[in-house]
Structure 1
């Protein structure tokens, strides 16, 4: 229960989590950030970690010179973490993907989410790897499904690297440039919720459309 509570608090208030890490030391702080960003993408059964909001909050702390955190150190950390995470998940999918899906042990791997990810790959090819990086949950499944689908490592990697660099830089710099605004500081929790909603909304809309689209097709055939 302690671990579950820790994850819930991290989702609700990543700023407080980072502040508690800084109290321990800067090296553990960077290590925790690296680990969470890596695991979100690198381990298929952990798609609910708050990558977007964590990067934003970390960027806010680099804006605050009293925190000790700097962009010069943070950026390489958040660049490397998603790239290595994608590589890990791609090879997990390539070698063990079918067995993992058939086992049914990863509850987050619902048929709808798998179908959504596969549809993106079929439509966009390796470009889907880049686009998928900006969608929570999908960013976890994309490298995994890419490994299953037969996409070659040589096609996967350039788009994975580009997506990881752009995504991590975008949210870190958003935190850095907007974190000093008094309104953002005062309503930080609402900003985090807004980031989560905006990030998840396209995925939710896509799943709803896919579900209702399937429901309409049998109805059309029935006529």
Structure 2
């Protein structure tokens, strides 16, 4: 049996994750206590609209893996499964519950009727591509499954694009978190800054796509008949 001195030495040699900046530090106790379950559970909840920090816990999990506290493959696998399952729950909510249910409760996840209408236009015009892009955009990530269900997108098509988007999203953050290691305090502010720029760029792209679609619809509208 291990003696007291050996136990103390073993504890001292155990991997210790780096000090975390910003909101990452707030999630450290949750990950310390619940581990893999926190990663899978929070990502699943976030991906059908529940306002929880799924993306952030994925990043912290990858940082812990880089410090030897968690297994990187398990973090990536559970992150991917949580993302796919969560989005499919959202898809079922949109597909089975319909517009009436979403409009009634959507305000709790900032999904207003106006935003639903805009998102439906985008999904109708650009379908799968929007699902992949939405994975990287706050707000769209949490609601893309619901909107896909509302628009009647085929489930097989949704699953394929959703899985691809989830794989790219998980791969990006897991790699960044794992590589960050002890340099997280330097890398984190840069990641937050460029994520903001990416969100702005995607927002501009979405507005441009909507304007383009409206212009095309106006140009192809049949001329109204002359009044008698």
TM-score by length of 2: 0.71
Question: Who is 1:50 aligned against?
Answer: 53
- Residues 1:17 and 2:27 are matched in the alignment: yes
Q: Of the candidates 40, 59, 63, which is equivalent to residue 60 of structure 1? A: 63
Instruction: Give the Å deviation of 1:201.
Output: 2.5
Instruction: Structure 1: state its 5+ residue gaps.
Output: 1-11, 214-223
Describe the SS at the equivalent of 1:125. helix
Which of 1 and 2 has greater Rg? Answer: 2
**Which residue does 1:185 correspond to in 2?**
185
Asked if residue 30 in structure 1 is aligned to residue 32 in structure 2, the reply is no
Determine the C-alpha separation between the residues in 1 that align with 2:96 and 2:127.
20
TM-superposed deviation, 1:69: 0.9
RMSD: 2.9
Distance in 1 of aligned mates of 2:211 and 2:136: 24
| Structure 2 CA distance for partners of 1:125 and 1:62, relative to 1, 3 Å | same
Change over 3 Å in CA distance of 1:15–1:97 after alignment to 2: farther
- Equivalent runs, 1:127-206 vs 2, <5 Å: 127-181=129-183, 184-185=184-185, 188=188, 190-191=189-190, 193-194=192-193, 197-202=196-201, 204-205=203-204
* Residue aligned with 1:134, SS: coil
Q: CA 1:192/1:17 → structure 2, altered by over 3 Å: closer, same or farther?
A: farther
Structure 1 residue aligned with 2:102 = 101
Question: How much has 1:100 moved relative to structure 2?
Answer: 1.8
Question: Judging changes above 3 Å, is the alpha-carbon distance between structure 1 residues 49 and 116 closer, same or farther for their aligned structure 2 residues?
Answer: farther
Structure with larger RCO (C-alpha < 8 A, sep 6+):
1
Instruction: Give yes or no for contact 1:52–1:196 (8 Å, CA) kept in 2.
Output: no
TM-score by length of 1: 0.72
The answer to whether the 8 Å contact 1:133/1:167 transfers is: yes
Residue segments in structure 2 that go unaligned for 5+ positions in a row: 1-21, 213-228
Number of equivalent positions: 191
CA gap of 1:192–1:21, structure 2 versus 1, over 3 A, is: farther
